[in-house]
Structure 1
Amino acid sequence: MRFDTKIAVLLRDDLADWQALNVTAFLSSGIAANPELLGEPYLDADSDSDGIRYLPMFRQPLLVLDGSKEVLTAAHARAVSRGLPVAIFTADLFATGHDEANRAAVRAVPRADLDLVGLAVHGPRNGVDKVLKGARLFGRRASR
Protein backbone atom coordinates (compact mmCIF):
# COMPACT_ATOMS: atom_id res chain seq x y z
CA MET A 1 0.00 0.00 0.00
CA ARG A 2 1.30 3.47 -0.87
CA PHE A 3 0.47 6.31 1.50
CA ASP A 4 0.11 9.97 0.54
CA THR A 5 2.05 10.98 3.64
CA LYS A 6 5.31 9.89 5.21
CA ILE A 7 6.51 9.59 8.80
CA ALA A 8 10.26 9.67 9.30
CA VAL A 9 12.84 9.90 12.05
CA LEU A 10 16.23 11.35 11.14
CA LEU A 11 19.14 10.62 13.49
CA ARG A 12 22.59 12.13 13.59
CA ASP A 13 25.03 9.49 12.36
CA ASP A 14 27.47 9.77 15.27
CA LEU A 15 25.08 8.49 17.98
CA ALA A 16 25.86 5.42 20.05
CA ASP A 17 23.37 2.58 19.54
CA TRP A 18 21.63 3.21 22.89
CA GLN A 19 21.32 6.90 22.01
CA ALA A 20 19.86 6.15 18.56
CA LEU A 21 17.24 3.86 20.10
CA ASN A 22 16.38 6.34 22.86
CA VAL A 23 16.09 9.27 20.46
CA THR A 24 13.95 7.23 18.04
CA ALA A 25 11.56 6.27 20.84
CA PHE A 26 11.17 9.82 22.10
CA LEU A 27 10.73 11.31 18.64
CA SER A 28 8.17 8.66 17.69
CA SER A 29 6.13 9.59 20.74
CA GLY A 30 6.12 13.19 19.55
CA ILE A 31 4.74 12.26 16.15
CA ALA A 32 2.22 9.89 17.78
CA ALA A 33 0.71 12.90 19.55
CA ASN A 34 -1.29 13.31 16.32
CA PRO A 35 -4.13 10.79 16.89
CA GLU A 36 -4.96 10.81 13.16
CA LEU A 37 -1.74 8.86 12.54
CA LEU A 38 -2.79 5.98 14.79
CA GLY A 39 -4.71 2.92 13.73
CA GLU A 40 -7.19 0.93 15.77
CA PRO A 41 -6.26 -1.03 18.91
CA TYR A 42 -4.92 -4.54 18.36
CA LEU A 43 -6.75 -7.67 19.53
CA ASP A 44 -5.45 -11.21 19.81
CA ALA A 45 -7.54 -14.36 19.32
CA ASP A 46 -8.44 -14.44 23.03
CA SER A 47 -9.46 -10.78 23.31
CA ASP A 48 -13.18 -11.49 22.96
CA SER A 49 -13.14 -13.65 26.08
CA ASP A 50 -10.70 -11.75 28.31
CA GLY A 51 -11.11 -8.19 27.03
CA ILE A 52 -7.40 -7.61 26.42
CA ARG A 53 -6.74 -4.76 23.99
CA TYR A 54 -3.31 -3.69 22.83
CA LEU A 55 -2.43 -0.10 22.14
CA PRO A 56 -2.81 1.21 18.61
CA MET A 57 0.28 1.98 16.55
CA PHE A 58 0.98 4.11 13.50
CA ARG A 59 -1.24 3.13 10.61
CA GLN A 60 1.63 3.54 8.16
CA PRO A 61 5.36 2.72 8.18
CA LEU A 62 7.84 4.93 9.98
CA LEU A 63 11.20 5.28 8.25
CA VAL A 64 14.38 5.72 10.28
CA LEU A 65 17.23 7.50 8.53
CA ASP A 66 20.53 9.02 9.52
CA GLY A 67 22.86 11.70 8.31
CA SER A 68 25.57 14.09 9.33
CA LYS A 69 25.05 17.04 11.65
CA GLU A 70 24.86 19.23 8.54
CA VAL A 71 22.15 17.04 6.97
CA LEU A 72 20.16 17.16 10.20
CA THR A 73 20.49 20.94 10.50
CA ALA A 74 19.39 21.44 6.89
CA ALA A 75 16.46 19.03 7.31
CA HIS A 76 15.31 20.92 10.39
CA ALA A 77 15.41 24.24 8.52
CA ARG A 78 13.48 22.77 5.56
CA ALA A 79 10.84 21.18 7.83
CA VAL A 80 10.31 24.44 9.70
CA SER A 81 10.16 26.50 6.50
CA ARG A 82 7.55 24.11 5.05
CA GLY A 83 5.45 24.29 8.22
CA LEU A 84 5.57 20.51 8.72
CA PRO A 85 4.96 19.08 12.18
CA VAL A 86 8.38 18.27 13.61
CA ALA A 87 9.65 16.82 16.89
CA ILE A 88 13.25 17.48 17.90
CA PHE A 89 15.78 15.92 20.24
CA THR A 90 18.91 17.85 21.21
CA ALA A 91 22.15 16.62 22.75
CA ASP A 92 21.22 18.51 25.94
CA LEU A 93 18.32 16.11 26.53
CA PHE A 94 20.70 13.24 27.28
CA ALA A 95 21.47 15.04 30.57
CA THR A 96 17.87 15.71 31.65
CA GLY A 97 15.58 13.38 33.51
CA HIS A 98 11.99 14.41 32.83
CA ASP A 99 9.68 16.26 30.46
CA GLU A 100 9.79 19.64 32.21
CA ALA A 101 13.62 19.65 32.17
CA ASN A 102 13.60 18.57 28.51
CA ARG A 103 11.37 21.46 27.49
CA ALA A 104 13.45 23.92 29.53
CA ALA A 105 16.67 22.68 27.89
CA VAL A 106 15.26 23.29 24.40
CA ARG A 107 13.68 26.61 25.39
CA ALA A 108 17.06 27.92 26.62
CA VAL A 109 18.72 27.67 23.18
CA PRO A 110 18.03 29.82 20.10
CA ARG A 111 16.85 27.78 17.10
CA ALA A 112 20.05 28.36 15.13
CA ASP A 113 22.15 27.02 18.02
CA LEU A 114 20.19 23.84 18.78
CA ASP A 115 22.56 20.85 18.92
CA LEU A 116 20.17 18.53 17.11
CA VAL A 117 20.74 14.78 17.33
CA GLY A 118 17.39 13.80 15.86
CA LEU A 119 14.10 14.94 14.45
CA ALA A 120 10.83 13.36 13.42
CA VAL A 121 8.60 14.74 10.72
CA HIS A 122 5.25 13.93 9.15
CA GLY A 123 3.72 15.35 6.02
CA PRO A 124 3.07 14.84 2.33
CA ARG A 125 5.44 12.27 0.81
CA ASN A 126 7.14 14.66 -1.59
CA GLY A 127 7.53 17.35 1.09
CA VAL A 128 9.08 14.94 3.59
CA ASP A 129 11.37 13.55 0.87
CA LYS A 130 12.61 17.09 0.16
CA VAL A 131 13.15 17.74 3.88
CA LEU A 132 15.24 14.56 4.20
CA LYS A 133 17.46 15.22 1.19
CA GLY A 134 20.94 13.81 1.84
CA ALA A 135 19.83 11.34 4.54
CA ARG A 136 20.15 7.57 4.16
CA LEU A 137 18.27 4.63 5.63
CA PHE A 138 19.52 3.88 9.12
CA GLY A 139 21.80 0.87 9.26
CA ARG A 140 22.96 1.26 5.65
CA ARG A 141 26.30 2.83 6.50
CA ALA A 142 29.51 0.81 6.31
CA SER A 143 30.28 0.75 10.04
CA ARG A 144 28.69 1.79 13.30
Structure 2
Amino acid sequence: MTTSPNAPMTSPTRRDLTAENALPYVPPGSGRTSSTDPGRSRTESSKQEWDRDSELSLMSKAVIATVFGLALLVAAFAVIGRLGGWAADYGTILVYLAFFLWMSIAGRVFWWGADTLIAEFKKKSNTVGDRR
Protein backbone atom coordinates (compact mmCIF):
# COMPACT_ATOMS: atom_id res chain seq x y z
CA MET A 1 0.00 0.00 0.00
CA THR A 2 1.54 3.27 -1.09
CA THR A 3 0.29 6.68 -0.16
CA SER A 4 0.74 9.97 -1.82
CA PRO A 5 3.18 12.42 -0.21
CA ASN A 6 0.36 14.96 -0.27
CA ALA A 7 -2.07 12.72 1.61
CA PRO A 8 -3.32 14.15 4.92
CA MET A 9 -1.91 12.76 8.15
CA THR A 10 -4.21 10.29 9.81
CA SER A 11 -2.28 10.03 13.05
CA PRO A 12 -4.40 10.07 16.21
CA THR A 13 -1.96 12.55 17.73
CA ARG A 14 -2.81 16.21 17.27
CA ARG A 15 0.04 18.09 15.69
CA ASP A 16 -1.50 21.57 15.76
CA LEU A 17 -0.79 22.35 19.44
CA THR A 18 1.21 25.50 19.84
CA ALA A 19 2.32 27.48 22.87
CA GLU A 20 -0.75 29.72 22.59
CA ASN A 21 -3.39 27.00 22.76
CA ALA A 22 -1.53 24.39 24.85
CA LEU A 23 -2.65 23.72 28.39
CA PRO A 24 -0.43 25.11 31.14
CA TYR A 25 1.65 22.63 33.12
CA VAL A 26 0.51 22.39 36.72
CA PRO A 27 2.79 20.20 38.83
CA PRO A 28 1.00 17.73 41.08
CA GLY A 29 0.65 18.92 44.64
CA SER A 30 1.51 22.51 43.77
CA GLY A 31 -1.75 23.80 45.20
CA ARG A 32 -2.64 25.56 41.97
CA THR A 33 -5.62 24.54 39.95
CA SER A 34 -5.70 24.49 36.20
CA SER A 35 -7.98 26.93 34.43
CA THR A 36 -9.48 23.95 32.61
CA ASP A 37 -10.64 22.32 35.87
CA PRO A 38 -13.35 24.62 37.20
CA GLY A 39 -14.90 21.91 39.41
CA ARG A 40 -11.93 21.80 41.75
CA SER A 41 -11.85 24.35 44.50
CA ARG A 42 -8.82 25.77 46.26
CA THR A 43 -9.57 23.76 49.43
CA GLU A 44 -9.61 20.46 47.52
CA SER A 45 -6.21 21.13 45.98
CA SER A 46 -4.68 22.25 49.27
CA LYS A 47 -5.47 18.84 50.79
CA GLN A 48 -3.06 17.26 48.29
CA GLU A 49 -0.14 19.61 48.88
CA TRP A 50 3.21 18.31 50.09
CA ASP A 51 3.52 18.15 53.85
CA ARG A 52 7.08 18.82 54.96
CA ASP A 53 6.45 17.32 58.41
CA SER A 54 5.46 13.95 56.94
CA GLU A 55 8.86 13.47 55.28
CA LEU A 56 11.46 11.30 57.00
CA SER A 57 14.28 13.09 58.78
CA LEU A 58 17.82 12.94 57.46
CA MET A 59 18.80 10.63 60.32
CA SER A 60 16.00 8.20 59.46
CA LYS A 61 17.00 8.18 55.80
CA ALA A 62 20.62 7.60 56.76
CA VAL A 63 19.76 4.66 59.05
CA ILE A 64 17.58 3.09 56.34
CA ALA A 65 20.29 3.58 53.70
CA THR A 66 22.98 2.13 55.96
CA VAL A 67 20.94 -0.97 56.83
CA PHE A 68 19.81 -1.48 53.22
CA GLY A 69 23.34 -1.04 51.85
CA LEU A 70 24.74 -3.39 54.46
CA ALA A 71 22.11 -6.00 53.55
CA LEU A 72 23.08 -5.70 49.87
CA LEU A 73 26.75 -6.13 50.75
CA VAL A 74 26.06 -9.18 52.93
CA ALA A 75 24.03 -10.74 50.11
CA ALA A 76 26.91 -10.13 47.69
CA PHE A 77 29.45 -11.69 50.03
CA ALA A 78 27.15 -14.66 50.61
CA VAL A 79 27.19 -15.58 46.91
CA ILE A 80 30.79 -14.69 46.11
CA GLY A 81 31.75 -18.39 46.02
CA ARG A 82 29.18 -19.09 43.30
CA LEU A 83 30.50 -16.45 40.88
CA GLY A 84 32.85 -18.90 39.14
CA GLY A 85 30.02 -21.32 38.37
CA TRP A 86 27.76 -18.54 37.20
CA ALA A 87 30.56 -17.18 35.02
CA ALA A 88 30.96 -20.60 33.40
CA ASP A 89 27.20 -20.88 32.83
CA TYR A 90 26.29 -17.34 31.77
CA GLY A 91 29.53 -15.71 30.64
CA THR A 92 32.41 -14.18 32.51
CA ILE A 93 31.90 -10.58 31.44
CA LEU A 94 28.19 -10.54 32.20
CA VAL A 95 28.50 -12.10 35.66
CA TYR A 96 31.44 -10.02 36.85
CA LEU A 97 30.01 -6.82 35.41
CA ALA A 98 26.73 -7.45 37.22
CA PHE A 99 28.62 -8.25 40.43
CA PHE A 100 30.67 -5.06 40.10
CA LEU A 101 27.52 -3.02 39.53
CA TRP A 102 25.80 -4.64 42.53
CA MET A 103 28.80 -3.96 44.78
CA SER A 104 29.13 -0.39 43.53
CA ILE A 105 25.51 0.46 44.26
CA ALA A 106 25.53 -1.36 47.59
CA GLY A 107 28.76 0.32 48.67
CA ARG A 108 27.56 3.77 47.65
CA VAL A 109 24.25 3.41 49.49
CA PHE A 110 25.99 2.06 52.59
CA TRP A 111 28.66 4.77 52.66
CA TRP A 112 26.19 7.59 52.05
CA GLY A 113 24.17 6.43 55.03
CA ALA A 114 27.23 5.82 57.21
CA ASP A 115 28.81 9.19 56.33
CA THR A 116 25.53 10.98 57.03
CA LEU A 117 25.17 9.24 60.41
CA ILE A 118 28.77 10.04 61.36
CA ALA A 119 28.31 13.69 60.39
CA GLU A 120 25.10 13.91 62.44
CA PHE A 121 26.75 12.33 65.48
CA LYS A 122 29.73 14.70 65.17
CA LYS A 123 27.37 17.67 64.89
CA LYS A 124 25.49 16.56 68.02
CA SER A 125 28.68 15.91 69.97
CA ASN A 126 30.02 19.36 69.04
CA THR A 127 26.87 21.06 70.27
CA VAL A 128 26.87 19.05 73.52
CA GLY A 129 30.46 20.17 74.23
CA ASP A 130 29.52 23.81 73.65
CA ARG A 131 26.92 23.76 76.42
CA ARG A 132 29.40 23.01 79.22
TM-score, L = length of structure 1? 0.19
* Larger-gyration structure (1/2): 2
Considering fraction of residues, name the structure with more strand. 1
Considering fraction of residues, name the structure with more helix. 2
TM-score, L = length of structure 2? 0.20
